[in-house]
A and B are shown apart, each in its own frame.
Chain A
């Protein structure tokens, strides 16, 4: 692989709570190449969103990054100055959230918000900025952008609001966009429109994407590579097609089997028994052990990452595909 745009090594993000330390992100490592679409998949509480927030330095008290390294274009972001992070945020790395109502200020017009975002990083006149704002809205497919600039967020539908959020994220042609469940709140027809346009826009600008989602079907139709997270760890990663077709980790297998599909009609779904463990009381060894049908005594020791094919690895003692030394 060429020089990665983003390189995360052994990232640990912990939250100090009254009940104990929650290890939300517990030793995560992955790379994102320039222009690559990486799907970060996991269920609620797996740490996928916290990983995204950690990259942008958006972890707030009582959370903190306790260890590891996040290198963006060769620059270390863990422990970087707040002023430096502010320069990067929005210009080089942008983020799109699940609920665009959260990103947009409800009492400011759209033009005010977009112009503010432009002026935060560039020294241009207000008229120029307004023109760029209009172009940005037009690019994400908002009809009559000139008029819509004067509207408030509540006057947009959910899909349109998400387009505004995407327009703002794309303003400075960032090299990396982190999308946290950007289409989860949207209807299928609108989801298809957004995915379609995001992919075109990113291809055009060579932007890399980290697409955080719980929906394997969405990343399967979108991502180049896939990271599956469970209890704060990446349990499997590799090229999306290979991982979906032939998962190596029993958890990934279980997730895929849990999705109702054309072939499962009328039959019982193969369910994963039990539920995700509390992050305060993770079982010793492999965190998936209590729900795994392959688990034995060997799983009592924390499994390390092993190679299971070209560009693939899994954290499992009993991988479902043959081991290939990396």
Chain B
């Protein structure tokens, strides 16, 4: 399937960012006793968390990809690897078709600047002791987008673009409301002229009315700067509103990927179906939920075979042993489920 995806992506346009079979493993560091035991030849069991497990994802220029999953499914870890702020444990990372191992210093520089990230909590991602002017403008000066002398104008221009009053340039982050802080985070990301923004739960901490303002801002900026987005969220409504394509993650793997309309109209994977059924929707009125049983298993000891089988109402014997691969099930649609094997 990697080959198939590869063929598709090279046939059309070079993806701005592509990851192939990328994984991230977190292993606990051995403590002193364990190191001694290990040195003496004892078998020390250090548990490894497979946060991201063999994921392929190609993001084409100009598209908005939504990445959806519940807490602990590895969506933030994948987003951080794509943004280049977390090293991968395995797999390949391509920027503009060039693998990260083959980058020249110049390409590395371009790749790092082209992808910027916006975080969930703007209070913990903005330095509380710096003025907004420096938070937004520092990286731009360092990277030569503007000069120290022109920093004020450069920052003022960015602040206007994200809907902040440039008169507040000399204030500190705590003097702003949550929505305004998120705008500062967006201006900071835009300051180095990126082509691709990774937004990790960027509106989750905001009130509904403020969330709508920030979502509209994202859409305006997409037009203005021709941006590409990876929009990571647990909120299916927000993702549906914004994305062209949606990928659903479960316990470190992408289980389904499809154009937004197709996915919401006819979800294929049982997990996607369960997710969509359980989202409370406004205007639907009172209804009963038919919740999927159980909880997301621990990524330390994921179930064998399909990770979803213990909660899946359609689980068969094969699901308990064989890992289903992500296969094409229609135009642009991919799903990792044994139920599709028969067809």
Considering the chains assembled together, what is the distance between the CA atoms of A217 and B71 in angstroms?
Answer: 20
Question: Lowest 10 A-B CB distances belong to which pairs?
Answer: A260-B241, A258-B212, A192-B278, A187-B70, A43-B207, A193-B291, A192-B291, A217-B280, A269-B212, A272-B209
Most buried by A among B234, B274, B279, B286: B286
- Whether B207 pairs with A245 at a CB distance below 8 angstroms is no
- A220 CB contact (under 8 Å) in B212, B278, B284, B290: B284
Q: With A159-B295, A187-B296, A260-B242 in contact, do A271 and B209 touch (Cβ < 8 Å)?
A: yes
Contacts of B219 in A (CB 8 A): 268
**A144: interface (CB < 8 Å):** no
Query: Considering the complex, which residues of chain A in the window 226-268 have a beta carbon less than 8 Å from any beta carbon of chain B?
Result: 240-241, 244-245, 254-262, 264-266, 268
Contacts of A188 in B (CB 8 A): 70, 234, 236, 275, 278-279
Most buried by B among A196, A217, A218, A273: A217
**B285: interface (CB < 8 Å):** yes
Contacts of A191 in B (CB 8 A): 278, 280
- Interface SS, A side: helix
Contacts of B208 in A (CB 8 A): 43, 214-216, 255, 258-259
User: Distance in Å from the Cβ of B295 to the closest Cβ of chain A?
Assistant: 6
Contacts of A159 in B (CB 8 A): 295
- B213 CB contact (under 8 Å) in A193, A223, A271: A271
- Whether A157 pairs with B295 at a CB distance below 8 angstroms is yes
- A260 CB contact (under 8 Å) in B238, B287, B292, B295: B238
Considering the chains assembled together, what is the distance between the CA atoms of A16 and B43 in angstroms?
Answer: 62
Considering the chains assembled together, what is the distance between the CA atoms of A159 and B261 in angstroms?
Answer: 31
Q: With A160-B295, A189-B70, A189-B274 in contact, do A195 and B211 touch (Cβ < 8 Å)?
A: no
- Whether A221 pairs with B209 at a CB distance below 8 angstroms is no
Contacts of B295 in A (CB 8 A): 157, 159-160, 189-190
**A150: interface (CB < 8 Å):** no
Contacts of B278 in A (CB 8 A): 188-189, 191-192
**B340: interface (CB < 8 Å):** no
Contacts of B213 in A (CB 8 A): 271-273
**B210: interface (CB < 8 Å):** yes
Residues in chain A within 8 A of chain B (CB atoms): 43-44, 157-160, 187-193, 195-196, 199, 214-218, 220-223, 240-241, 244-245, 254-262, 264-266, 268-273, 275-276
User: Distance in Å from the Cβ of A193 to the closest Cβ of chain B?
Assistant: 4
Return the chain A residue nearest B311 by Cβ. A189
Contacts of B282 in A (CB 8 A): 216-217, 220, 244, 256, 259, 261
Contacts of B70 in A (CB 8 A): 187-190
12 residue pairs bridging A and B, Cβ less than 8 Å apart: A187-B296, A189-B275, A189-B291, A244-B283, A258-B208, A260-B212, A260-B215, A260-B241, A261-B240, A262-B240, A269-B216, A271-B209
- B285 CB contact (under 8 Å) in A43, A220, A256: A220
User: Distance in Å from the Cβ of B241 to the closest Cβ of chain A?
Assistant: 3
User: Distance in Å from the Cβ of B201 to the closest Cβ of chain A?
Assistant: 13
Considering the chains assembled together, what is the distance between the CA atoms of A120 and B283 in angstroms?
Answer: 43
User: Distance in Å from the Cβ of B242 to the closest Cβ of chain A?
Assistant: 7
**B288: interface (CB < 8 Å):** yes
Contacts of B234 in A (CB 8 A): 187-188
Return the chain A residue nearest B242 by Cβ. A260
- Whether A275 pairs with B177 at a CB distance below 8 angstroms is yes
- Whether A221 pairs with B281 at a CB distance below 8 angstroms is yes
- Whether A196 pairs with B291 at a CB distance below 8 angstroms is yes
**B172: interface (CB < 8 Å):** no
Considering the chains assembled together, what is the distance between the CA atoms of A221 and B208 in angstroms?
Answer: 17
Return the chain B residue nearest A218 by Cβ. B280
Return the chain B residue nearest A219 by Cβ. B280
Contacts of A218 in B (CB 8 A): 280
User: Distance in Å from the Cβ of B72 to the closest Cβ of chain A?
Assistant: 9
Query: Considering the complex, which residues of chain B in the window 58-84 have a beta carbon less than 8 Å from any beta carbon of chain A?
Result: 70-71
Contacts of B284 in A (CB 8 A): 220-221
Return the chain B residue nearest A291 by Cβ. B209
Considering the chains assembled together, what is the distance between the CA atoms of A196 and B177 in angstroms?
Answer: 35
Most buried by A among B242, B287, B289: B289
Return the chain A residue nearest B283 by Cβ. A244
Contacts of A257 in B (CB 8 A): 212
Considering the chains assembled together, what is the distance between the CA atoms of A159 and B241 in angstroms?
Answer: 27
- B286 CB contact (under 8 Å) in A190, A240, A265, A272: A240
Considering the chains assembled together, what is the distance between the CA atoms of A220 and B286 in angstroms?
Answer: 6
Contacts of A256 in B (CB 8 A): 282
- Whether A265 pairs with B280 at a CB distance below 8 angstroms is no
- Whether B283 pairs with A44 at a CB distance below 8 angstroms is no
Most buried by A among B71, B209, B237, B240: B209
- Whether A220 pairs with B280 at a CB distance below 8 angstroms is yes
Considering the chains assembled together, what is the distance between the CA atoms of A165 and B282 in angstroms?
Answer: 27
Considering the chains assembled together, what is the distance between the CA atoms of A241 and B264 in angstroms?
Answer: 24
Return the chain B residue nearest A215 by Cβ. B280
Considering the chains assembled together, what is the distance between the CA atoms of A245 and B282 in angstroms?
Answer: 9
- Whether A260 pairs with B237 at a CB distance below 8 angstroms is yes
- Whether A269 pairs with B280 at a CB distance below 8 angstroms is no
